[in-house]
Structure 1
Amino acid sequence: MSVKIESVTYPNLAWQSAGNLIFPPDFDKSKKYPALLAAHPIGSCKEQTAGNVYGVGLAKAGFVVLAFDASFQGQSGGEPRFIEDPGLRVGDFRFAVDFLVTLPYVDEERIGALGVCGAGGYVINATMTEHRIKAVTSITAVNFGRLTREAFTQFEPAKAMEAMGKQRTAEARGAERNVIDLIPLSNEAAKAEGATDPDIVQATDYYRSRCPDKNGPAKQLFSFNAAATTWDAFNHIETLLTQPAMMIVGDIPGAFGGYRDSLEAYGRASGSKDRQLVVLPNTSHYQLYDQPEATGAALAKAIPFFEKHLA
């Protein structure tokens, strides 16, 4: 049972976003379908886990799925490259919905969204104020603002912002962009650095060995990271997230904080019409990217949840 995939572009702020439309096996353009957005992790792309795993799985269940690249990343437009700005990442969801509602075979009253890792935090935040999204699911959600203030700045965000400012000044004067690697460059490098945390070890294996992709290289533009330090994925979640919400996470915690952030989102989302937390046993963050047992278990929960609320 195969799906059809169509590459598309659509307007964003001052550039074009790139996406893959993934159609159900028995797709009939004369009918109306529920649709889902599928958003990729930080440093990733639409072809990795959001598209080739969750997008395909959801399409096989009968949904039209739009897996899209973040602005400044993948095949989407925007310069300079590799910017990871939470405000713009959340805005990407709005433009993606704008595109979906123009498609004659999409039912605008049956649109949902799913995000993985950093996009799990972004999708929750976007759903708070984008009520054209009727139901949301996060997969091992990470609050990128919290991660930036903590691990990504060595718990010294003010010091890091001083360094970002100096780098931005240098780049404004013509210096080369400082594009940083978020993880070791190889499994061997991770071992040499003494990496033992499951998120670091498995992230390196995923991006460098299991699912390498030139459009999802796990890189970031250092000089533009300051915007993330004051951002919080779950700010106002208690009052603004009223749509049905499912948070799926594994029970093995790691350095990126998906377990912690998913439980926080669930605990605070008291205004959701149907709030559900799924904790998968013996499952880590990166097993939920592409390992069949973990992703199969996640889809087994996400599919009936979306069917219930987008039927």
Structure 2
Amino acid sequence: MTLTQEWDKTFPQSNKVDHQKVTFKNRYGITLAADLYLPKHRDNQKLAAIAVSGPFGAVKEQSSGLYAQTMAEQGFVTLAFDPSYTGESGGEPRNLASPEINTEDFSAAVDYLGLLPYVDRQRIGIIGVCGFGGMALNATAVDKRIKAVVTASLYDMSRVMAKGYYDSMTLAQRTQALEAMSQQRWVDAEKGAPQPGPRNLPESKEGIDNPVVSMYFDYYRTPRGFHPRSVNSNGAWNATTPLSFMNMPLLTYIKEISPRPILLIAGDKAHSLYFSEDAYKAAGEPKELLIIKDAIHTDLYDRVDIIPFAKITDFFTKNLK
């Protein structure tokens, strides 16, 4: 595995933290690549730590890295990682996602952080952005080492793939999609390689009439957030990627996060707001839903004037002590 060493993030490097590339293995033997951010003035004390990933189809050089670096400025050891099969992380075939393996990726990040000599392994939390918010909640439910969890612009990827936006997918549409992917498996098996699906985003904004697609284009396909290793910026998921999501609901055991705290953050103008609202209703106490006025979904990816970092810092300072 060859990792880039130059600063190739979509956000400026902070002079308040130390940064290094690291790798670690998950429970399936896949090597994950990550950026480790450390407060410059650590004073030989054991610190609280936070693992960060997301959005779905993004890489650590985008939103998750921004969250990690910013939280390191606040005194936390942080780790932004590329999920299995994407970015600089290992796993074949490429451009694949899995509700189980991507949940495991968070726990593997906790493994790594807990072995660092300057981390207090009793004080580890996680942040999941967009689709990795659902994975973060699932990981927290099953992994009792995680003491607190934050999601930003939460997507429940299993729900949206299984039921469509706003649960609008009919049984006939679901059956048709599963039939097509089931048949695609024969094609992939015959070729010995998976068929890519359609590009996640078009090459040009011309002709886009869907405001959600336009919103994602404005982040992933422009200098604001483009990164060549991001599936959303520069590629496509494998055509059969939704298969495992469609019958493995991620938030089935969300109540079992309790009594560990949850902070759900979403914009009041976000098309995805209902995911956070429903997760809040389903979760046990303690929990908080913070709705950001006039914010759309992608505002919580990189708009540092909108992302409530002071609130996130207060949440983890209080709950990782």
TM-score by length of 1: 0.91
2:22 equivalent to 1:8: yes
2:57 equivalent to 1:43: yes
Partner of 1:305: 315
Secondary structure at the aligned position of 1:47 is classed as coil
- Superposition pairs for residues 188-227 of structure 1, below 5 Å? 188=205, 191-195=206-210, 197=211, 199-209=212-222, 210-218=224-232, 219-227=236-244
Report the CA distance shift for 1:236/1:286 in structure 2 as closer, same or farther (over 3 A).
Answer: same
Partner of 1:73: 86
**Structure 1 residue 233, shift from structure 2 partner:** 2.4
Report the CA distance shift for 1:158/1:241 in structure 2 as closer, same or farther (over 3 A).
Answer: farther
Q: Tell me if the contact between 1:127 and 1:241 (Cα under 8 Å) persists in the aligned partners.
A: no
Secondary structure at the aligned position of 1:278 is classed as strand
2:265 equivalent to 1:251: no
Secondary structure at the aligned position of 1:73 is classed as coil
Q: Tell me if the contact between 2:263 and 2:289 (Cα under 8 Å) persists in the aligned partners.
A: yes
Q: Deviations over 1:26-58 (max 9, x none)?
A: 234x3201000011111111111011x211110
Report the CA distance shift for 1:240/1:38 in structure 2 as closer, same or farther (over 3 A).
Answer: closer
Counterpart amino acid of residue 120 in structure 2: D
In the alignment, structure 2 segments of 5+ residues that lack a partner are 1-14
Higher helix proportion (structure 1 or 2): 1
Q: Deviations over 1:246-283 (max 9, x none)?
A: 000000132xxx2001011111112x3x2111000000
Q: Tell me if the contact between 2:95 and 2:231 (Cα under 8 Å) persists in the aligned partners.
A: no
Secondary structure at the aligned position of 1:172 is classed as helix
Partner of 2:303: 291
Q: Tell me if the contact between 1:187 and 1:205 (Cα under 8 Å) persists in the aligned partners.
A: no
Q: Paired residues, what number?
A: 298
Q: Tell me if the contact between 1:24 and 1:64 (Cα under 8 Å) persists in the aligned partners.
A: yes
The 10-residue stretch of structure 1 (120-129 or 234-243) with the greater mean CA deviation from structure 2: 234-243
Partner of 2:125: 112
Q: Tell me if the contact between 2:220 and 2:226 (Cα under 8 Å) persists in the aligned partners.
A: yes
Secondary structure at the aligned position of 1:107 is classed as strand
Counterpart amino acid of residue 188 in structure 2: E
Looking at structure 1, the residues matched to 114 and 292 of structure 2 have their Cα atoms a distance apart, in angstroms, of: 34
Counterpart amino acid of residue 51 in structure 2: L
**Structure 1 residue 182, shift from structure 2 partner:** 5.7
**Alignment RMSD (CA, Å):** 1.8
Counterpart amino acid of residue 319 in structure 2: H
In the alignment, structure 1 segments of 5+ residues that lack a partner are none
TM-score by length of 2: 0.88
Partner of 1:148: 161
Secondary structure at the aligned position of 2:306 is classed as helix
Partner of 1:229: 246
The 10-residue stretch of structure 1 (170-179 or 259-268) with the greater mean CA deviation from structure 2: 170-179
Partner of 1:281: 293
2:108 equivalent to 1:95: yes
